[in-house]
């Protein structure tokens, strides 16, 4: 699971220590108040699409860019979309709000709609939709969602058909359980612990058996921790997560016991990545790797010129990360050795990437809202910019990107585009 950016507004290359309004909304946890706050702020727009060059326009018809590929049209222009569709998306910029699996692509929203990856036609929908603030948590063959009925359930669906395949409930003494991570055996959730008067001052982290739905273990978290702003990942016997209080914590997946915890800096809003036995965390101008087993520092990489590292991502055993002055790096995640360094984003006047996917030899990155942002395609071996796709709508939402290996899906506000790879 990839995490979030440091400054998150993406509108200026200057160093900033403050999150954007979008990120604050996302952290707010997505309760009913948040849903009400954001309702109606974004309307469905027309389906016209403009890419970075005015001569490239895509429409609703599948196959509109069938002769294009990841290199665009050969002169730096973005490829035409294969299709563009309006969606019911209700997103706040987190990387787990757009997923592709089972031949469909799904954007968090209400209703929750799955579109055919090849054509953009709707395959199925769930009327209740996704709970705002809860991720679209995808395992190998199951999509896990917090119940939109707010009845304490966590539900698993077949992403290809939308049929319910699994259900679990933590217990009536807990409120709003939200899945945060999944492995081959368990689904991990965070939930509020209810007081007698219906209020909540503490929360619990728990593991649910992904076969039976039974509670495998549950551990009350320390007073002062929050159930909001949780970002998590699992590697072997280690569950890693961060929270709104700038804690990086590792627990044992077998019994839930805490292995170690570290504080993160004020410039880190919960993002990290994991690779093999390491967790890699941006800490201001330093990128640090810690052993999952004991929390000991394995390596540190320093940024130059006081720049702040943004969200990292490990794809095919390479760590990709940008900094606040728009320098991109590819790093060996085992050692911290730099494989390449590119200033192509800054040279082209483009914005910082905050989410990554890879298809073939191309690295695709998504930015926050900016006329010089959108989806940026880069050579994965050098960091050279190949093209930028932007729908020119001016929508205030961050861009999100996902891939099924055959197509790259770009979500911006209420519009979902499929681009060729």
Per-residue tens of pLDDT for the chain, all 421 residues: 333 333 333 333 333 333 443 444 444 443 333 333 333 333 333 333 333 333 333 333 333 333 345 555 455 789 999 999 999 988 877 888 999 999 999 999 999 999 999 999 999 999 988 888 788 999 989 999 999 888 889 999 999 999 999 999 988 888 889 999 999 999 999 998 877 787 778 889 999 999 999 999 999 987 767 777 789 999 999 999 998 788 899 999 999 999 999 988 877 778 899 999 999 999 999 999 999 999 999 999 999 888 999 999 999 999 999 999 999 999 999 999 999 999 999 999 999 999 999 999 999 999 988 788 899 999 999 999 999 999 998 888 999 999 999 999 999 999 999 999 9
User: What's the pLDDT at 230?
Assistant: 86
Q: What is the pTM of this model?
A: 0.82
Contact 163, 179 (CB under 8 A): no
Question: Residue 75's pLDDT is what?
Answer: 57
Residue 153 CA from chain centroid, whole number: 23
- pLDDT of amino acid 270: 80
- The residue whose two tokens read 């929050």 is 226
Q: Partners of 388 in the beta sheet?
A: 376
Q: Residue 48 burial by CB count (10 A; 0-12/13-18/19+): exposed, middle or buried?
A: middle
Place of tokens 């009925």: 149
For residue 91, what pLDDT is reported?
83
Other CB atoms within 10 A of residue 167 CB = 13
Report the C-alpha gap between 387 and 137 in whole angstroms: 30
CA distance 124 to 118: 15
- The reported pLDDT for the residue numbered 172 is 87
Residue located via tokens 């093999």? 276
Contacts of 251 (CB under 8 A, 6+ apart): 205, 219, 238, 239, 241, 257, 258, 259
Tokens of 320: 């990709």
Whether omega for the bond prior to residue 111 falls within 30 degrees of 0, making it cis, is yes
**Cα(81)–Cα(391) distance, integer angstroms:** 10
Q: Which two tokens stand for residue 214?
A: 């039974």
Question: Phi first, then psi: what are they for 341, rounded to 5°?
Answer: -135, 130
d(CA 88, CA 112) in angstroms, rounded, equals 7
For residues 372 and 374, what is the distance between their CA atoms, to the nearest angstrom? 7
> Tokens 């800096």 appear where?
265
In the beta sheet, which residues pair with residue 312? Answer: 321
CB burial of residue 197 (10 Å; 0-12, 13-18, 19+): exposed
How many CB atoms sit inside 10 A of residue 139's CB?
Answer: 17
Longest dimension (CA), the chain: 66
Is the CB of residue 323 less than 8 Å from the CB of residue 310? yes
pLDDT recorded at residue 1: 38
For 370-395, letters b (16+ CB in 10 Å) and e give bebbbbbbbbbeebebbbbbbbebeb
């Amino acid at each position: 699971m990839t995490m979030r950016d440091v400054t998150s507004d993406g509108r200026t290359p200057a160093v900033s220590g403050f999150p954007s309004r979008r990120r604050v909304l996302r952290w707010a946890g997505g309760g009913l108040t948040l849903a009400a706050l954001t309702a109606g702020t974004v309307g469905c727009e027309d389906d016209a699409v403009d890419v970075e060059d005015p001569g490239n326009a895509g429409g609703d018809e599948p196959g509109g860019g069938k002769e294009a590929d990841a290199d665009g049209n050969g002169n730096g222009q973005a490829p035409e979309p294969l299709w563009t569709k309006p969606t019911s998306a209700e997103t706040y910029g987190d990387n787990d709000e757009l997923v592709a699996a089972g031949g469909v692509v799904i954007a968090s929203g209400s209703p929750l709609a799955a579109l055919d990856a090849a054509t953009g036609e709707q395959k199925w929908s769930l009327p209740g939709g996704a709970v705002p603030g809860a991720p679209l948590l995808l395992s190998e063959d199951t999509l896990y969602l917090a119940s939109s009925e707010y009845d304490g359930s966590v539900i698993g669906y077949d992403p290809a058909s939308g049929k319910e395949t699994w259900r679990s409930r933590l217990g009536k003494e807990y409120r709003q359980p939200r899945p945060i991570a999944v492995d081959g055996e368990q689904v991990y959730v965070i939930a509020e612990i209810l007081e007698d008067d219906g209020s909540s001052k503490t929360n619990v982290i728990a593991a649910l058996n992904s076969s039976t739905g039974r509670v495998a273990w549950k551990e009350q978290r320390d007073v002062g921790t929050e159930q909001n702003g949780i970002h998590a990942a699992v590697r072997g016997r280690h569950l890693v997560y961060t929270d709104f209080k700038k804690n990086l914590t590792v627990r044992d997946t077998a019994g839930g016991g805490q292995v170690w915890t570290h504080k993160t800096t004020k410039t880190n809003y919960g993002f990290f990545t994991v690779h093999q036995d390491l967790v890699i965390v941006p800490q201001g101008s330093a990128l640090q790797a810690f052993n999952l087993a004991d929390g000991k520092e394995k390596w540190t990489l320093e940024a130059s010129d006081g720049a702040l590292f943004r969200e990292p991502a490990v794809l095919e055993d390479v760590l990709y990360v940008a900094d606040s002055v728009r320098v991109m790096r590819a790093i060996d995640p085992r050692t911290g050795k730099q494989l390449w360094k590119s200033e192509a984003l800054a040279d082209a006047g483009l914005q910082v990437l905050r989410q990554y996917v890879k298809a073939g030899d191309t690295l695709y990155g998504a930015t926050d809202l900016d006329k010089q942002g959108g989806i940026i395609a880069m050579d994965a071996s050098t960091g050279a910019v190949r093209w930028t796709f932007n729908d020119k709508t001016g929508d205030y939402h961050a861009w999100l990107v996902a891939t099924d290996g055959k197509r790259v899906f770009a979500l911006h506000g209420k519009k979902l585009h499929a681009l060729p790879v």
